[in-house]
Amino acid sequence: MSERQNRDPEQARERIRLLEFQLDHLRAELLHLTHERHRLIYSVSGHIYRFLRPIEAFLADAANALVARFRPTPSDATTPSTSGAGAPAFRGAPLPARRLLVDVTGTIKRDAGTGIQRVVKEVTRGLSSGESFDMPALAVRCECGRLLTANGFVAELVGGDAAPDSEIAIAGGDRFLMLSDSWNAFDELAPIFAKIRDEGGEVVTCVFDLIPELYPHACHEVTVPRYRAWLRKALIESDSFLAISQTVANELADYVAAQGLPHRPGLKIGWFHCGCDLALRADAAPRDKVKAAVAGDAPLFLAVGTIEPRKGQRVALRAFEELWARGRDVRIVFVGRRGWFEEAVASEILEHEEFGRRLFWFDDSDDDELSFLYDRAAALIFPSYAEGFGLPIVEAARRGRPVICSDIPVFREVGGAGALYFRVNDARALAETIADFLDGRRVADPDLVLRVAWRDAARRIVEVVAREDWSRRLR
């Protein structure tokens, strides 16, 4: 029997288990929403919202229509941007890379404090550290089809006075890196793409994950069509992609090939690793409720991430319920804001009989409190079934904490031989792994986990672009 035939049954079983997990979460979410519907339908707010909802939808549609009507240079989904109707669809070989223009427009306009915005800010800080790189790198922003410096944004990150932002003259060999969440304003950047190519430059797009394509059920209903439209435009407009992990780089290359998606000939795909410089300030003062959560001798486990089905908080909760049923005196602390489809698991946490005793959730902790919790945790629990990188793994390792995470490719890439792995979406397997860890039968070594500083991440980005160090190339 071939290796592929051996893999197929296991892959089928994994898909079935993932479907079972999704159905279980959907059932819990529907039960919760039914309860909320019954509560709201007899309330004043329910009656008000019944009339406001169609108005809200109408206004959103009208706003989108206006944006589409007055957008200066729309980008066709199958034709790259050009400087004129007679310009060729694909030009000749680009000039050697001479300068990296890092677009941070999305983060300047919409800093929601998410992981993407953290990457943008930390990479920008690393590029602005004064170190020498393979080529100059400059943070920029787009405004009405013009490219401007982002001096104020950089000054907020590194300190010091900021000169007024000024327009940038695009030069030969410039590389334009869309580091921020470009899907929110991709068409607005079309004039920039044309100018870059007119000067023999290239467009580079950062991709954080392929979750909306590979796991659409895990995303908000608005995210999936928006992401799919963005990806197909980005494949046409981009000369290369930079992924935040080698796993995502391979997923992108394989997905484009398997789906036969149109893309620029010779599309290049590379990767870098996110960094971590998490530290506890000397004057940090965690809140009393955070201090109370870590008080005592019972081992404390930390789970960091937005509350949503993909992150596996229900898997962790079931695992700890099993440990408690066995008489294990252990605690778990969830740290993360509400995401989407989270109502069921949020209610389970908040209404659990152990909440406030051996179960805690902090949805507004800053980096200081997070560092405080890492330093007092027995280990990090990371039960996600899909991620683009897995930054908490690096954060925990940087603080010297062991890591217990689900067995998915990107976690193997980041956790390496230093993390402990359990079968994805399997609460019992997680409980067994925790028990083995507590009893010393399995040992995690944080020193063997990937450790990258943000300055290293910034350097890697420049090196990939400047040295053409791409891991995959598509025809």
Q: pLDDT digits over 348-404, tens only?
A: 999 999 999 999 999 999 999 999 999 999 999 999 999 999 999 999 999 999 999
pLDDT range class, residue 17, cuts 50, 70, 90: low
190, 330: one domain: no
pLDDT-based confidence at 51, cuts 50/70/90?
low
3-state helix, strand, coil in the chain (%, to 5): 50, 15, 35
The answer as to whether 236 is a domain residue is yes
pLDDT at 109: 85
The token pair at 406 is: 């689900």
Co-location of 188 and 262 in the same domain: yes
- Strands 174-178 and 379-382, bridge-based pairing: unpaired
State residue 94 phi and psi, 5-degree precision: -75, 165
Residue 27 pLDDT class (50, 70, 90 cuts): low
Confidence class for position 88, pLDDT limits 50, 70, 90: very low
d(CA 330, CA 336): 20
Same structural domain, 150 and 227: yes
Residue 28 has pLDDT above 60, yes or no: no
In 42-140, which residue ranges form alpha helices assigned H by DSSP? 44-70, 105-109, 115-127
Supply the angle between the helices 454-467 and 115-127 in degrees, to the nearest 10.
80
3-state SS assignment for residue 101: strand
Residue 55 binned pLDDT confidence (cut-offs 50, 70, 90): low
52-63 mean pLDDT: 54
- Let me know whether 125 and 230 are in one domain: yes
Task: Please report the pLDDT score of residue 59 as a whole number.
Answer: 61
pLDDT at residue number 115: 80
Residue 448: per-residue pLDDT: 98
Domains held by the chain: number: 2
pLDDT of residue 44: 45
DSSP 355: B
Which domain, by its residues, includes 418?
Answer: 288-451
Q: Do both 162 and 302 map to the same domain?
A: no
CA angle 254, 256, 12 (to 5 degrees): 50
| Mean pLDDT across 67-81 | 48
pLDDT confidence of residue 423: 97
User: Which pLDDT band holds residue 7 (cuts at 50, 70, 90)?
Assistant: low
List the end-to-end C-alpha distance of the chain, in Å, as a whole number.
33
**Count of CB atoms within 10 A of residue 54's CB?**
9
The DSSP output letter for 170 is P
195-230 exposure pattern, b = at least 16 Cβ within 10 A, e = fewer: bbbeebbbbbbbbbbbbbbebeebbeeeebeebeeb
User: d(Cα 66, Cα 215) in Å, to the nearest integer?
Assistant: 31
Burial of residue 462 (number of CB atoms within 10 Å: 0-12, 13-18, 19+): buried
Domain check: are 218 and 335 in the same one?
Answer: no
pLDDT value at position 58? Answer: 57
Average pLDDT over residues 208-225: 93
H helix or E strand, kind and range, residue 24: helix 3-41
The amino acid occupying position 90 is F
Q: Do residues 191 and 270 both lie within one domain?
A: yes
Cα torsion 237, 409, 272, 309: sign = positive
Select from 432, 209, 434, 444 the least CA-distant residue to 303.
434
Give a yes or no: residue 38 inside a domain: no
Token pair for residue 457? 């991440």
Question: What's the predicted TM-score (pTM) here?
Answer: 0.82
Residue 56: inside a domain: no
pLDDT value of residue 264: 95
What are 406-441's pLDDT values in tens digits?
999 999 999 999 999 999 999 999 999 999 999 999
pLDDT for 242-272, tens place per residue? 999 999 999 999 999 999 999 999 999 999 9
Contact (Cβ atoms closer than 8 angstroms) between residue 135 and residue 99 = yes
Residue 284 has a pLDDT of 81
pLDDT, tens digit, 9 for 90 and up, residues 148-184: 999 999 999 988 887 899 999 999 999 999 998 787 7
Instruction: Kindly report the CATH number assigned to the domain that includes residue 447.
Output: 3.40.50.2000
Q: Which residues contact 158 (CB under 8 A, 6 or more apart)?
A: 125, 128, 129
Q: Note whether residue 51 is domain-resident.
A: no
214 and 268 in a common domain: yes
Whether residue 255 sits in one domain with residue 153: yes
Identify the pLDDT of residue 119.
92
Residue type, 225: P
The token pair that represents 127 in the structure block = 């590029």
- How high does pLDDT run on average in the chain? 86
Percent of the chain with pLDDT over 70: 80
Structure tokens at 261: 């998606």
Q: Name the token pair of 470.
A: 């791409």
- Domain with residue 268: its CATH number is 3.40.50
Structure tokens at 309: 């089905």
Provide φ and ψ at 161, rounded to 5°: -85, 150
Q: Nearest Cα to 452, choosing from 380, 393, 370?
A: 393
Q: Is the pLDDT of residue 52 over 60?
A: no
**Of 152-161, 308-317, 462-471, where does mean pLDDT reach its minimum?**
152-161
With respect to residue 34, please indicate whether it lies within any of the assigned structural domains.
no
What pLDDT digit, counting tens, does each position of 95-150 carry? 888 999 999 998 988 876 678 888 999 999 999 988 889 999 999 999 888 999 99
Instruction: Give the whole-angstrom CA distance, residue 306 versus residue 386.
Output: 13
Given this model, what pLDDT does residue 75 score? 41
pLDDT band (50, 70, 90) for residue 79: low
Q: Are residues 379 and 440 in the same domain?
A: yes
SS3 label, residue 226: helix
